């Protein structure tokens, strides 16, 4: 069984923990915005010391922060949705090869199918 299905089953049985994940994700998002505004000058002075070493460290920290926010929000919202819903899926147009009909044919077919489903 995939991690997605395990996480979905866990968050459906323990909705309080799923709510906590959502709350932590939102708190991390707003805390990151606050920290950026509050410590901007200090971080810029710290970066001025050695750009070659510290810029990649800052980028790594920002990437980990963004991953943490998205992971917490995804874990909190995984209890919603249908039971037969695929985990981590994309629309089929992105997986098909682009043939003679053009580069955007997959997107056009997807948009036509969306229009048919929602009428």
Q: Measured between alpha carbons, how far is 56 from 26 in angstroms, rounded to an integer?
A: 26
State both tokens at 60: 């790594």
State both tokens at 98: 């682009």
In a 13 Å sphere around the CA of 34, the CA atoms on its Cβ side amount to: 6
What is the full per-residue pLDDT of the chain (119 aa) written as tens digits?
567 677 777 777 878 888 898 899 999 999 999 999 999 999 999 999 899 999 999 999 999 999 999 988 888 876 665 666 666 554 554 555 545 456 677 767 766 676 565 54
Q: Measured between alpha carbons, how far is 8 from 13 in angstroms, rounded to an integer?
A: 9
Cα end-to-end distance, the chain, whole Å: 35
In this prediction, residue 43 carries a pLDDT of: 94
In this prediction, residue 64 carries a pLDDT of: 97
In this prediction, residue 79 carries a pLDDT of: 64
**Could you tell me the CA-to-CA distances from 86 to 43, 65, 96 in Å, in that order?**
42, 26, 18
């Amino acid at each position: 069984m995939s991690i997605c299905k395990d996480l979905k089953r866990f968050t459906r049985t323990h909705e309080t923990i799923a709510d906590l994940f959502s709350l932590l994700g939102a708190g991390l998002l707003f805390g990151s915005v606050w920290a950026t505004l509050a410590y901007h000058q200090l971080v810029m002075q710290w970066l001025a010391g050695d750009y070659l070493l510290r810029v990649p460290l800052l980028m790594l920290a920002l990437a980990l922060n963004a991953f943490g926010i998205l992971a917490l929000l995804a874990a909190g919202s995984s209890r919603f949705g249908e039971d037969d819903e695929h985990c981590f899926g994309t629309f089929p147009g992105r997986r098909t090869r682009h043939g003679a009909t053009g580069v955007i044919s997959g997107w056009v077919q997807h948009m036509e199918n969306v229009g048919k489903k929602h009428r």
